[in-house]
């Protein structure tokens, strides 16, 4: 809103200082600061409200050290993260930008699903919360919204450069270009790293080539569901999900910045995505919200984010990756989420297999998800979180290296 207000004041009245709102860097910095302040100031007040309402986490005894001490710790803290994202984005971002609109819808959509799950657990005293099939349906619904918007909306374009022989490319800038609606993405660690979803089955003839474009939408649903659930599973010990998400969000902010800037895109020889630079504001508001939430969520946590926060932050990361055409980097960038997800899948699958084969279930890990395995080994959760953050930083650096490492 402030962008549109100060743009009007600058244009109509030559208002002193209003022009600074034209700079994404200024608005992104302000969004970060405001999100931090909201999370830290509003967070303390929300915790007191939740304590008065007795919105406490019910803890199952899993035999983990210090676990029962957390009983009664307020949950639904994801409301802090969501508010700290929405307010600065509404204030400083361009609200006519299709990518910003998509991110706002994604945040609210998954936030509501997570809130409903937490509400059922806390106020209806149902430890299972919202049935898993309804969570999946909600994630599929968001996947359809995101996939159809990116596929059909005319404002979703990439810049194609036209060479003298008539060929086009999303990189290697020439003086001649056109902005086209295209389903191309970035393939990491590869030169000429464009992959067009519509050409996946071109070898099978024109009939299959036409249908292959529609595979993009199921793929979007898969990405959103997987990353959202990965963040949800990772949210098991104090500060783990929020800190890991902040690292991922900062990485995506860099991708959004360089992908939306012609100079950086040309220098790095990467795809230029018009208007995607505005997502830098959203990304840094997201980082500020996660870091501000850590003020209350680091060990010993004063509040848990609950599904309200974990489902939302996973969905945000997934949709951001899809918009900046870096979804194929998710297994690296979100490696923590991936490993946590895989540890659960492997544990359950192996247990069922061995129970069927030997009559008793056996386990690969002492407990899943993986962070609980290390707790069972005797590691303090602060050490586990710190080491997971370090691995997350290493994965983020490797992800950024793909800008030049091909």
- Residues making up the annotated binding site are 232, 307
Tell me if 372 sits within 8 A of 348, measured CB to CB. Answer: no
- Cα–Cα distance for residue pair 121/115, rounded to 1 Å: 10
Q: DSSP secondary structure string, 41-108? A: HHHHHHHHHHHHTT-B------S-TT-GGGTT-B--THHHHHHHHHHHHHHHS-TT-HHHHHHHHHHH
Which residue intervals of 359-380 are DSSP H helices?
370-376
- Cα–Cα distance for residue pair 280/97, rounded to 1 Å: 12
Query: What residue numbers does the annotated binding site for Mg(2+) cover?
Result: 232, 307
Collapsing DSSP to helix, strand or coil, 268 comes out as helix
Closest-CA residue to 285 (of 31, 24, 29, 82): 31
**Other Cβ atoms closer than 10 A to 382:** 14
Integer CA distances (angstroms), 116 to 113, 138, 184, 185, 238, in order: 5, 11, 36, 34, 22
Closest-CA residue to 146 (of 209, 62, 227, 218): 218
Beta bridge partners of 161: 169, 177
Which residue intervals of 131-270 are DSSP H helices?
132-152, 206-212, 216-234, 240-259, 262-268
Tokens 């984005």 found at: 89
Collapsing DSSP to helix, strand or coil, 346 comes out as helix
Tokens, residue 180: 């086209």
User: Cis ω on the peptide bond leading into residue 369 (within 30° of 0)?
Assistant: yes
């Amino acid at each position: 809103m402030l962008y549109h207000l100060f743009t009007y004041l600058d244009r109509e009245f030559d208002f002193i200082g209003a022009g600074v709102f034209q700079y994404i860097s200024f608005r992104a910095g302000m969004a970060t600061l405001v999100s931090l302040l909201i999370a830290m100031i509003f967070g303390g007040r929300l915790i007191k409200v939740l304590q008065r309402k007795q919105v406490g986490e019910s803890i199952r005894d899993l035999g983990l050290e210090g676990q029962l001490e957390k009983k009664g710790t307020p949950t639904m803290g994801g409301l802090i993260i969501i508010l700290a994202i929405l307010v600065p984005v509404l204030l400083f971002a361009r609200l006519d930008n299709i990518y910003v609109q998509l991110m706002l819808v994604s945040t609210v959509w998954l936030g509501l699903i997570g809130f409903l799950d937490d509400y059922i657990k806390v106020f209806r005293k149902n430890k299972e919360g919202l049935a898993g099939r309804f969570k999946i349906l909600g994630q599929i619904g968001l996947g359809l919204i995101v996939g159809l918007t990116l596929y059909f909306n005319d404002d979703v374009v990439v810049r194609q450069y036209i060479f003298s022989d008539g060929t086009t490319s999303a990189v290697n800038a020439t003086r001649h270009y056109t902005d086209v609606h295209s389903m191309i993405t970035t393939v990491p660690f590869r030169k000429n790293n464009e992959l067009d979803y519509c050409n996946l089955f071109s070898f099978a003839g024109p009939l299959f080539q036409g249908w292959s474009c529609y595979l993009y939408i199921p793929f979007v649903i898969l990405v959103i569901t997987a990353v959202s659930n990965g963040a949800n599973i990772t949210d098991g010990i104090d500060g783990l999900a929020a800190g890991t998400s902040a690292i991922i969000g900062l990485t995506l902010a860099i991708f959004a910045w360089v992908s939306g800037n012609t100079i950086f895109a040309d220098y790095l020889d990467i795809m230029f995505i018009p208007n995607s630079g505005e997502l830098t504001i959203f990304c840094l508001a997201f980082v500020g919200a996660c870091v501000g939430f850590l003020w209350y969520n680091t060990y010993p946590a004063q509040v848990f984010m609950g599904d309200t926060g974990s489902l939302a932050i996973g969905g945000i990361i997934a949709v951001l990756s899809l918009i900046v055409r870096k979804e194929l980097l998710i297994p690296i960038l979100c490696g923590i989420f991936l490993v946590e997800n895989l540890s659960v899948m492997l544990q359950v699958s192996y247990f069922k297999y061995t129970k069927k084969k030997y009559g008793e279930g056996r386990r690969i890990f002492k407990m899943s998800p993986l962070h609980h395995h290390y707790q069972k080994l005797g590691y303090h959760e602060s050490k586990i979180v710190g080491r997971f953050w370090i691995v997350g930083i290493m994965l983020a650096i490797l992800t950024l290296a793909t800008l030049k490492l091909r």
